[in-house]
Structure 1
Amino acid sequence: MSKKRREIPVFDHPIIETHCHLDYLRDRPLQETLEQTHRVNIERVITIAVSPGNLARVRELTTMASWLYGTQGIHPHEAESYNDAVEQEIRTHARDDGIVAVGEIGLDYFYDNADRGVQREVFRRQLQIACDTDRPVVIHSRDADEDTIAILKEFERSLKRRGVIHSFTSGPGLARYALDQGWNLGFNGITTFNKAENVRDIVRMAPISQILLETDAPFLTPVPYRGRENAPFYLPFIAEKIAEVKQMPLDDVLIQTYQNSLRTFFPTQ
């Protein structure tokens, strides 16, 4: 007989889901997912754009509820589909009601789904959009630490608002640079994986004042629900793991990461 999985904890303090992909969820009706997410005291959800094909869908999702927000940007996997028309769409909607950041943008040299030179050009162009629209940035960086640092250095002065390097799995060099420059690091279900001690080492290094919670749903489902499609309502397990790794009271983690999320994406609230 298989072990019964723990019920999802419900905390007194609200949580903000800073990175998921609502339009990629498949296992249950979206409304059901949203209802369950609210039941576990997740106060706001940010759903992330990744391609020309879902920019408009993300904007549409933000109109479904007052607590749903989104981003506009093109993932490095889709860099070769970036063009002037896509750039104009992102620029036009970057400051829409409900849109809180430019992203998910960056570099991915692990899969190399797009030419690396094209990835770098598209990363720069979208960072410029963030500069021009005064928006924070959601960054994806995988196996590209040196180039990520080099490009971010080009924008140190012009990018007034930072943002987050999400799903952080990079090395301590990128972590130190990002933290020194005022970026947040986003952590998700990977922190619960048995073989992810390198990620937990970065959690230990990062000040709690620069950590954001995310699921990256439908990917990277945390223990104890690995094997199922991920969803925003599993976020409490990630909060618990961050508290465990940092040896902090859970309430302190919840309060500080909530404030970090507000400061990053909702600075006027």
Structure 2
Amino acid sequence: MSKNRREIPRFDHPIIETHCHLDYLKERPLEDILLQSEQLNIERIITIAVAPDNLERVRQLSQMAPWIYGTQGIHPHEAETYNDEVEAEIRTHAGDTKIVAIGEIGLDYYYDHADHEVQRTVFRRQLQIACDCNKPVVIHSRDADDDMIEILREFEASLTRRGVIHSFTSGPGLARYALDQGWCLGFNGITTFNKAENVRDIVRMSPIEQILLETDAPFLTPVPYRGRENAPCYLPFVAEKIAEVKKLPLQQVIEQTYHNSLRTFFPAG
């Protein structure tokens, strides 16, 4: 191990990984990653769907263990693959016991992987699924703040107030809108990056009662393990950074974000 890396801390209080992609992890056997996560007191893991070809795989992964859950949804990068058949599959399985949200859905104007108008149409269609099923949403938003707010306003009357804009890197306007709606913001290893002061500014303005911890593994590995594939086991480093930025006791951050996760995705406990 590099001298700049330290042992991953284990907290006495459980924590919840609210956003990762277990089917994208390649560096180590999945069984090893899950065992290490369990040993670190990561009580639940939510693995996120992003494309038509991994909707079923996410459902399969959610059956691997009682503490693994999933979502159903199509990422904005994949918006042009969305059709009636895909929508029917998402609707059919939105009510499955181990499916806790509709996502990852949203808008991404940073890359041109899908036409912007198509993205907006697909986003609206999936928000409607969430409304119809009374499910929380997991939202991806990048360089699309104004359109994101406009579309979310269209659904204010029918969307549940349980939801998250994950991997939040947007501006304070979208942050305030989401927080005013009672939603959470998800933060990950980006908070540990040297050049991510804009994200840490959003952490500072966000009530601890509306913050969720995530890794977005295998992406965005936090310091001090940058350069390795990310995994749920690195979640404690995100908790530590949130506590540092908000100048709060680490125990308070761990306990509050745990309850925030339950409230958002597991309201029955």
Amino acid at match of 1:253: V
- Per the TM alignment, residue 161 of structure 1 is displaced from its structure 2 partner at its CA by 3.6
1:158 aligns with 2:158: yes
Aligned with 1:65: secondary structure?
Answer: coil
Q: Deviations over 1:10-48 (max 9, x none)?
A: 011100000000000000000000000111110000000
Corresponding residue of 2:120: 120
State the 1:97 CA deviation.
Answer: 1.2
Question: In 2, Cα distance between the equivalents of 1:264 and 1:253?
Answer: 16
Which residue pairs with 2:168 in the alignment?
168
What is residue 194 of structure 2 aligned with on the other side? Answer: 194
Which residue of the partner structure matches residue 23 of structure 1? 23
Match of 2:236 in 1: 236
**Partner SS, residue 139 of structure 2:** strand
Amino acid in structure 1 at the alignment position of 2:236: P
Is residue 36 from structure 1 mapped to residue 36 from structure 2 by the alignment?
yes
Question: Are the counterparts in 2 of residues 134 and 161 from structure 1 also a CA contact under 8 Å?
Answer: no
Question: Who is 1:183 aligned against?
Answer: 183
TM-score, length of structure 1 as denominator length: 0.99
Whole-Å Cα distance in 2 between the matches of residues 162 and 215 of structure 1?
Answer: 20
* TM-score using structure 2 length: 0.99
Contact residue 162 and residue 265 of structure 2 kept, 8 A: no
In the aligned structure 1, how far is the partner of 2:212 from the partner of 2:239?
Answer: 10
> Where do 5+ consecutive residues of structure 2 fail to align?
none
Consecutive unaligned residues of structure 1, counting only runs of 5 or more, are: none
Q: Which residue in the other structure is 2:9 paired with?
A: 9
Q: 1:58 is matched with which residue?
A: 58
Aligned partner of 1:84 in structure 2 is: 84
SS state at 1:158 partner? coil
Given that 1:135 and 1:161 are in contact with CA atoms closer than 8 Å, whether structure 2 keeps it comes out as no
Asked if 1:265 is matched to 2:265, the reply is: yes
Contact in 2 for aligned 1:72/1:102 (Cα 8 Å): yes
The amino acid of 2:89's aligned partner reads E
In structure 2, what residue type is equivalent to 1:220?
A: L
Structure 2 Cα separation of the partners of residues 2 and 241 of structure 1: 20
Per-residue deviation, residues 87-111 of structure 1 (Å, max 9, x unmatched) = 0000000010100000000000001
2:101 & 2:211 partners in 1: Cα distance?
17
8 Å CA contact retained: 2:188, 2:222: yes
Q: Secondary structure at the match of 1:9?
A: coil
* 1:196-245 Cα distance to aligned partner (Å, 9 max, x none): 00000000000000000000000000000000000000000000000000
Q: Write the letter of the residue equivalent to 1:34.
A: L
Native 8 Å contact 2:74 2:105 kept in 1: yes
| 2:248 alignment partner, SS class | coil
The whole-number CA distance in structure 1 between the counterparts of 2:160 and 2:251 is 31
Structural mapping, 1:240-255, within 5 Å? 240-255=240-255
Shift of 1:2: 4.9
> What SS does the aligned partner of 2:70 have?
strand
Instruction: Give deviations 1:158-201, integer Å, cap 9, x for gaps.
Output: 11243000000000000001100111000000000000000000
Paired residue secondary structure (1:121): helix
Aligned-residue offset at 1:5: 1.0
Q: CA deviation at 1:112?
A: 1.8
SS of 2:19's equivalent in the other structure is: strand
What does residue range 67-106 of structure 1 map to in structure 2 within 5 Å?
A: 67-106=67-106
SS in 2 for 1:54: helix
Amino acid at match of 1:124: R
Read off the aligned partner of 1:168 and give its amino acid letter: F
Q: How many residues align?
A: 269
Identity of counterpart residues, as a percentage? 79
2:214–2:235 Cα contact (<8 Å) kept: yes
In structure 1, the partner of 2:144 is 144
